[in-house]
Amino acid sequence: MMSESPESLLTLLASAVLLASAGSVHCIGMCGGISSALTFSIPESRRQGKSLWGWQLLFGIGRVTTYMVLGSLAGMLGNALLHWLPGPSMAIGLSLSGVLMLLLSGYLLGQGVWLKKLEGIGAGLWRRLQPLTRRLLPVDRPLKALALGGLWGLLPCGLIYTALALAVTAGSALSGALVMLVFGVVTVIPVAITGVIASRLQHFRNGIWPKVAASLTFLLALVFFWQAWSMSQMPHHGHHGAVDKGAVDKNTHTHHHQPET
């Protein structure tokens, strides 16, 4: 099942942008340390000047590629499941994303028990994959950078799981991949910057920044709930079309069988 309309897909993509923007502070604090560690895994002679930005871009491309694969799988899952749900599928999916955003808001303040449990499931997979990262060090070739970025995309993260809920709502492999592409691209620049200026990361882990991120995600949850409510009020043109066609067929049938006077 594809998204209900191009406008619905645009709503999902806009939501992915908002989610990534609101979560960028979280990304800087949590993934920035990984980005800086990958920076120092590059031989010093190869990470001088502008070349460092090139390596960060390769890490980002690998990470976003993984997001797209996960988004494609999530979209296929949505294609299989969402048509069984009552009401507009996107409204239900956006409501689910809103709930996850509320959980993410608490998570950013250290209160997200449920998302931490969800991350715990992902952590089991990560423990199996982590030994692969050591085989890719040092990062002295572009393919190694892409591969490490791809593995990085599998790190357990509540923000990513929230984005995948949007991808499920997309209802197709292509649309789900597109949602995660947009989400990932928005996060590439802030995370890459932290890989270059790693010494300032502590400011984003402490102080007011976690509260700022939590407030933004809470507001975004309200936006998702509003979008879900708005979409639930929209008429289902496909269903109405079927009813109208049936009515036309019935009228035509009656007309053809009307007795002559």
CA distances from 201 to 193, 198, 205, 220 (A): 10, 6, 7, 24
Cβ 151 vs Cβ 34: under 8 Å: no
Round to whole Å and give the CA distance between 13 and 183.
8
Locus of tokens 């993984």: 66
Q: Alpha-carbon distance 151 to 66, whole Å? A: 8
Q: Which two tokens stand for residue 210?
A: 């976690």
- The residue among 165 and 89 whose pLDDT is bigger is 165
Which tens digits make up the pLDDT trace of 55-82? Answer: 989 999 999 999 999 999 999 998 887 6
Give the DSSP letter of residue 109.
Answer: T
pLDDT at site 205: 53
Average pLDDT over residues 179-192: 90
The pairs formed by 126-131 with CB atoms below 8 angstroms and a separation of 24 or more are 126/154, 126/155, 126/156, 129/154
The helix/strand count (H/E) of the chain reads as 12, 0
Higher confidence at residue 123 or residue 136? 136
Q: Tell me the per-residue pLDDT of 38-47, one tens digit each, with 9 for 90 and over.
A: 888 888 888 7
**Separation of alpha carbons 54 and 148, rounded Å:** 14
> Residue 168 contacts by C-beta under 8 Å, 6 or more apart in sequence?
74, 75, 77, 78, 81, 82, 93, 96, 176
The pLDDT value recorded for residue 248 is 42
CA distance 217 to 240: 36
Q: What is the largest CA-CA distance in the chain?
A: 98
pLDDT band for position 240 (50/70/90)?
A: very low
Q: Using CB atoms within 10 Å of the CB of residue 255, give its burial: 0 to 12 exposed, 13 to 18 middle, 19+ buried.
A: exposed
Q: Cite the DSSP H helix spans in the chain.
A: 6-22, 24-30, 32-40, 51-81, 89-108, 113-135, 142-152, 158-170, 173-196, 202-205, 209-232, 237-256
For the chain, the average pLDDT equals 75
Q: Compute φ and ψ for 215, nearest 5 degrees.
A: -65, -40
Q: Is the pLDDT of residue 245 over 50?
A: no
Global confidence as pTM: 0.73
Name the nearest CA neighbour of 46 among 139, 149, 130: 139
